[in-house]
Amino acid sequence: MRRPDRIVLSAVAALVAACHGGGAVSSLPGADSASILRDVTWLADDARMGRATGSAGLDSAAQYIERRFAALSLMPVVAVDTNCRASCAMGFQMRYTARPIAARHTDAPPAVLASSNVVGVLRGADAALANEYVIVGAHMDHLGMSSDFALDPEAKNAIRHGADDNASGVAAVLELARLFTRHPARRSIVFTTFSGEELGLLGSAYWTDHPPVPLANVRAMVNFDMVGRMHDDKLIVYGVATSTELPGIVDAANTAPALSISAVGDGFGPSDHSSFYAKNLAVLHLFTDLHDDYHRATDVASKINAGGEARVVAFAERTIRAIADRDAPLTFVRAPSPVARGGSSREGSNTYLGSIPDMAAGSTPGLRLSGVRAGSPADKGGLKAGDVIVELAGTGVKDLYSYTDALYAHKPGETIVIVVLRGGARVSCTIVLGERGR
């Protein structure tokens, strides 16, 4: 076994330089930042047209991932003929029909999109534990060329490349698959990429409703969504309270040079790990925070901090290996959450404020803003970076979830009052809500 912590220690100088420049790469013999950057660049290329669910660009991305899984000799576990009753051919693509959640709340004809997840299994090295699984996943879809859910509607039909969201997550899954095939864990690992995340966690919901491996044998799910823009060594890890053992595992995996980890307990949130947590499975969700290119055409591969992502992958390998190699399964805990949800906070609403939450604000009551979009309703209404939203239209805001619930209870065009804490004082801002994509 080639220990990633020793590898990282031998490359501190390269990593420090890489963490301060977009696109910089390191020469780690373990987590390979050059390989990560190649994968991100390929997936976020114009030829993939933004990888919208149901598009030829996303189909191309799925085929790319399928080829990579095959080259690593992962096992295909999805029945090619879903109606077969006996043995039948197996493949990597789990095909399903995606029905966008937002379309269900309109009078328009229901949207039906042919799509797929990609699934490959690395068999565990311990015969006694090989029928237990750790899921390692990321969504491969993005917005395509649509302004729906985009934060740069003025760009109209420009390609939203989705380099960080979420080609970076897919690259992390591919790199972890490469690392684990070199030295398998005791338990089996299921590497998977989902489609339909941007439309409401559709692919992961289908995965958990039609599991290719028994959910009763799944011990944890580790999700990667936007892990390519690390700055100040910061990594946010959600789900640490979903198992008794996870806080200690995460802490032990954070070896020198240590990351600045913000640990969040809740297992629900706006990405695919929510679908697994809803099935009472322990989860972790890794995220290097929002940035000004989120859901914009400017989220391009040249801005990826590949050296920083290699550090995330090295940390993730240690974490996943600790879960997969331990003698006993994790002890699942239903972490407290304001609302038990299995879907994305983006689903079902076109209401647009233009706030940028600080996802690493920790346990401080309210929702701290790391910024606001220029010209957005938030900007016009006087919200500022550093504000902590504590009330929205008369509803108390304690965290991201209560904020999104309160916001999406209102429609575009409504005038609401948002109360923030600013410099220790309560400040009221009158906001006219906008419509996403307009």
Least confident of 79-93, 276-290, 420-434: 79-93
For residue 14, the model assigns a pLDDT of 35
- Provide DSSP, 257-318: SPPEEEEE--S-SSSTHHHHHTTT--EEEEE----TTTTSTT--GGG--HHHHHHHHHHHHH
Domain ranges across the chain: 10-325, 351-435
User: What distance lies between CA 156 and its chain's CA centroid?
Assistant: 25
The contacts of residue 54 (CB under 8 Å, 6+ apart) are: 98, 113, 114, 115
* Residue whose pair of structure tokens reads 């805990």 in the numeric block: 333
Supply φ then ψ for residue 150, to 5 degrees.
-80, 150
Decide if domain 351-435 falls under CATH 3.40.50.300. no
Confidence of residue 310 (pLDDT cuts 50, 70, 90): very high
283 close to 219: Cβ distance less than 8 angstroms = no
Q: Tell me what the mean pLDDT of segment 376-383 comes to.
A: 93
pLDDT band at 34 (very low <50, low <70, confident <90, very high): very high
Higher pLDDT, residue 83 or 179: 179
Comparing 81 with 373, which gets the higher pLDDT? 373
Residues above pLDDT 90, as percent of the chain: 66
User: Is the per-residue pLDDT at 363 higher than 70?
Assistant: no
SS3 78: strand
Write the CB contacts of 258 (distance below 8 Å, at least 6 apart in sequence).
233
Q: Tell me which amino acid residue 225 is.
A: D
Of 22 and 421, the one with more pLDDT: 421
Q: Mean of the pLDDT values across residues 117-138?
A: 98
Reduced to 3 states (helix: H, G, I; strand: E, B; else coil), residue 15 is helix
Residue 56's contacts (CB-CB under 8 Å, 6 or more residues apart) are: 49
Query: In 149-182, which positions are buried (b, 16+ CB within 10 angstroms) versus exposed (e)?
Result: bbbbbeeeeebbbbbbbbbbbbbbbbbbbbbbee
Give exposure, 295-319, as e/b (b: 16+ Cβ within 10 Å).
Answer: bbbbbbbebbbbbbbbbbbbbbbbb
Task: Count, in order, helices (H) and strands (E) of the chain.
Answer: 11, 18
**What integer is the mean pLDDT of 178-188?**
97
Which pLDDT belongs to residue 23? Answer: 42
pLDDT at residue 26, rounded to an integer:
38
Q: Hey, what are 67's tokens?
A: 């080829």
User: Per CATH, the architecture of 10-325 is what?
Assistant: 3-Layer(aba) Sandwich (3.40)
Cβ atoms < 10 Å from Cβ of 329 = 17
- Kindly report the CA angle at 277 between 306 and 61, in degrees rounded to 5? 40
Average pLDDT over residues 214-233: 97
Contact 321, 191 (CB under 8 A): no
**pLDDT tier at 24 (50, 70, 90 boundaries)?**
very low
Taking alpha carbons only, the member of 343, 344, 346, 303 closest to residue 150 is 346
Q: What is the pLDDT of residue 143?
A: 95
pLDDT at residue 160 tops 80: yes
Separation between Cα atoms, residue 371 and residue 386, nearest integer Å = 7
Nearest to 203 by CA among 301, 352, 96, 89: 96
Mean model confidence pLDDT for the chain:
86
β-strand pairing of 260-264 with 90-91: unpaired
